[in-house]
Chains A and B, each alone.
Chain A
Amino acid sequence: MLFNSLDFAVFIPVVFLLYWFVANKNLKFQNFLIVISSYIFYGWWDWCFLSLIVFSTLIDYYIGLFLSKEENKFKRKLFLWTSIGVNLGFLGIFKYYNFFIDNFISAFLFFGMKINANTLNVILPVGISFYTFQTLSYTIDVYKRKLEPTKDIIAFSAFVCFFPQLVAGPIERATDFLPQFYKKRKFNYSKSVDGMRQILWGLFKKIVIADNCAQYVDEIFNNSAEYNGSTLVIGALFFTFQIYGDFSGYSDIAIGTSKLFGFNLKQNFNSPYFSRDIAEFWRRWHISLSTWFRDYLYIPLGGSRGRTWEKVRNTFIIFIVSGFWHGANWTFIIWGALNAVYFLPILLTNNNRRNLEIVARGKFLPSIKELSLMVLTFGLTTFAWIFFRAENIGHATSYISEIFSGSLFTLPKIIPKMTIILLIFFVFIEWLGREGKYAIESIKYSKNILIRFGLYILIGFLIFIFGNFDETEFIYFAF
């Protein structure tokens, strides 16, 4: 079920009313309703793949229990690796198997050897990369004794399949999120209003910004050979906004919806395009994934400590793995590697924690220096997104070479005026709200009811007028 669908518009009020008026008397009942609703939400795509979630849930639940009782180091490790093996095994089969087989065949062919291997004709289960990482965090934390394993299978199932964030995050940590299922939720008026506000902004980002940009991005990227350099720049810039609007829009709707049910999810985006360097960008973009990799991969590898070559190795590993997490394609690996190349000079000169505060805090405008750094970072990010969006490496390189040709200085063949106006409005609101958890959060502090209601109505109105209601999928569903 998509957040931007009519099905969801009917589903959410029904679950909301059942949750607060029928299931509110009992914690188990609240959690049980979440499990059932989440299975319905997921099963809307494909009931068959629900079995994967149920299987992962059972495996990790029981491994958690075994880990709590077991003191033998070897057995504990065995349990941990069983969980990792099963979870990553599913991910490997459904997401990466064909990629590796194809590349093995190509590699052998390169050396003149022909091998026969069959690829699998399977589709990628929606959200598998997200819930796999979420359940893995549980077993790893239980193994490290950072978390007591739960004995409540309903609470654990609800933690794994919680529908607002099941298919595209934010990827929650068991240490933060699981305890929320142990306490009965009470309806909180301000939290719910805040949730609605965040949902509204998320819908605007997805339906108005991302989906309007998507039309031009698809046209330009799919027919890039027919366009001049300046048009391709527009395509790349629009994709930069599309992916942000799409993914952060999803996160806002997920976080907002969770608030309606009394839950707190992690902030997943924090004005990333106002970053002054790549390190800051990665602290603000897809925060739940970046911190997951930081805690479960980067730090165990040694992080930014150790000798220079270790820092370089760890940086490349984390960025390449992060790129590969997005999809089984060399384009994502190059995208990750490119970000590592951007990041390394900052890390090696110990400047990676230079910009921790949001830019121009308390000011209306940034300084010239800040603006220049933001534009530079934005430009580097936009360039890297070309690899992310391209069909393959050849497509990306031909796209880039056309940009850096004389045709860059000719007039673009596509100038989507209305979308540009919408983008200016969007960037302006995002800039004004950059200190909040989402752009229009601060409107809650306004005591003027007309301003508050006026803004909600304006955004609702803009969604209606400019929204694309084709129920397009979210980009991150494919990851």
Chain B
Amino acid sequence: MKLNLFILHFNMKKFLLKTVVISFVILVLTTLVLLASSFFVKSKEFNNYTSESNLLFLQENYSYDVLFMGISHARNFSRHRNHLRVEKILDKRIINIGQGGGACGVNEQFFYLDYFLYKKNCVEKIIYVLSPPMLFSQTLPIASNTFDNEIFELSFLWRYLKFESENKKARIMSYLQTKFHHTWLLKKPGTLESKDNFLSSLDRKAVKKGQNLAYAGDDLYLNQFKKSTKIVEQTIKLAINANIEIILLIPPALFGKWRGHQETLNFMESMEQKYNLKIIDCSESVLDPILYYDSHHLNTKGVVYFTNKYLKPIIK
């Protein structure tokens, strides 16, 4: 009886040990490869205006004057070397954590800001570019490619594991798996060329198509809007607690107002009253097609014009 028990325990221990060792080796090897591939890509010296990634350049204990956040309309202030132009016009040091490409919604923008602060960075002002589709979209909160451009960082992963989010598992898996992909290893700093394409007129059909894409359909998802605005409010509180001034801004579009514009503006006004914030509705501020490369993204000339005319006064 005792011998049988001894054999059971001995064999069981051996089995469990073997299982644990193999699992551990797989885990360690995977982590090493993740770190190595990230280190390799990071060595190519990316910065805020040559990459859509935030972790590639985000450091610790840095201080900035202005932080942009939002979706592509925010990121556009850095793309195509616009970042340097905006910095020059505003005479401020800026950082842009906005994410385009339908990859990031308000929740993950909150997470990015939280991580920025966790890294003991500081900033004076935040310009939160509140594009209405960002608040209504049902696809942005579940996009799994949010962190595909980010390097592997254990602290980032650990913090995100503890963060509440929809579709978190798929997002994490995509974050990790893309680091093994050849497109990640071949990643190069983005173009420094200015975006000079422009429109000659407003194409209504293209606008409708674009809006449907941005809102993922014809409807306005008010439940999603409620969820999103709660998270934006949390973001505002996070900024206020960190002594950062936060400005809410509706970006310009060639067609003027997005669907859901009024709801967005009402929300912004409620935040203005509640937290004494600056808000600015720029939806109809730029209506010249020559300043856009598509119906809602400013080209380089447009970014320069908008920064001079609208951002400069509020930043000062």
Contacts and interface: CB of A to CB of B under 8 A. Distances in A.
Contacts of B29: 457, 461
Nearest to A460: B26
A187 B170 contact: no
Contacts, number: 45
Contacts of A470: 170
B15 interface: yes
Given A24-B8, A187-B8, A193-B18, A461 B170 contact: no
A444 interface: no
Contact of A456 (B8, B22, B173, B180): B22
Nearest to B144: A470
B15 A469 contact: no
A62 to B, nearest CB: 37
B173 A189 contact: no
Contacts of A186: 4, 8
A461 B12 contact: no
A171 B261 CA distance: 59
B208 interface: no
A196 B19 contact: yes
B14 interface: yes
A187 B19 CA distance: 15
A469 B173 contact: yes
A435 to B, nearest CB: 25
Contacts of A461: 26, 29-30
Contact of A189 (B14, B23, B25, B176): B14
Given A193-B18, A464-B30, A470-B170, A457 B8 contact: no
A465 B180 CA distance: 7
B92 interface: no
B22 A189 contact: no
A464 B33 CA distance: 12
Interface string B168-199: 01100100110010000000000000000000
A469 B169 contact: yes
B22 A457 contact: yes
How many chain A residues sit at the interface, stated as a range, is: 20 to 34
B22 A20 contact: no
B11 interface: yes
Nearest to A24: B8
A453 interface: yes
Which of A6, A20, A464, A467 has its CB near the most chain B CB atoms (within 10 A)?
A464
Interface residues of B, number: 20
Interface string A153-191: 000000000000000000000000000000000111100
Which of A453, A460, A466, A467 has its CB near the most chain B CB atoms (within 10 A)?
A460
A460 B23 CA distance: 8
A453 B15 contact: no
A352 interface: no
Interface in A1-33: 6, 20, 24
Contacts of A193: 15, 18
A470 to B, nearest CB: 6
B70 to A, nearest CB: 28
A460 B22 contact: yes
Interface in B1-30: 4, 8, 11-12, 14-15, 18-19, 22-23, 25-26, 29-30
B180 A20 contact: no
A192 interface: yes
Contacts of B11: 187-189
Contacts of B14: 189
A187 B15 CA distance: 10
A461 B32 CA distance: 12
A186 B176 CA distance: 40
Contacts of B180: 465
Contacts of A6: 169
A202 to B, nearest CB: 16
B162 to A, nearest CB: 16
Nearest to A453: B22
A464 B26 contact: yes
A460 B30 CA distance: 10
B22 A187 contact: no
Contacts of A464: 26, 30, 176-177
Contacts of A192: 15
Contacts of B18: 193
Nearest to A459: B26
A457 B19 contact: no
A464 B179 CA distance: 11
Contacts of B177: 464-467
B2 to A, nearest CB: 14
Nearest to B12: A187
A193 B14 CA distance: 10
Contacts of B22: 453, 456-457, 460
A187 B173 CA distance: 35
Interface string B26-40: 100110000000000
B26 A189 contact: no
B26 to A, nearest CB: 4
Contacts of B8: 20, 24, 186-187
A192 B18 CA distance: 11
Interface in A423-479: 453, 456-457, 460-461, 464-467, 469-470
A192 to B, nearest CB: 5
A457 B26 contact: yes
Contact of A20 (B4, B12, B25, B173): B12
Nearest to A452: B22
Nearest to B30: A464
Contacts of A453: 22, 25
A6 B169 CA distance: 10
A8 B170 CA distance: 17
Nearest to A190: B11
B147 to A, nearest CB: 15
B160 to A, nearest CB: 15
A209 to B, nearest CB: 16
Contacts of A466: 177
Interface of A: 6, 20, 24, 186-189, 192-193, 196, 453, 456-457, 460-461, 464-467, 469-470
25 contacts: A20-B12, A24-B8, A186-B8, A187-B15, A188-B11, A189-B11, A189-B12, A189-B14, A192-B15, A193-B15, A196-B19, A453-B25, A456-B22, A457-B22, A457-B26, A460-B22, A461-B26, A461-B30, A464-B26, A464-B177, A466-B177, A467-B173, A469-B170, A469-B173, A470-B170
Given A457-B29, A464-B30, 14 more contacts: A24-B8, A186-B8, A187-B15, A189-B11, A189-B14, A196-B19, A457-B25, A457-B26, A460-B22, A460-B23, A461-B29, A461-B30, A469-B169, A469-B173
Interface of B: 4, 8, 11-12, 14-15, 18-19, 22-23, 25-26, 29-30, 169-170, 173, 176-177, 180
6 closest residue pairs by CB, A with B: A189-B11, A460-B26, A469-B173, A465-B180, A187-B8, A192-B15
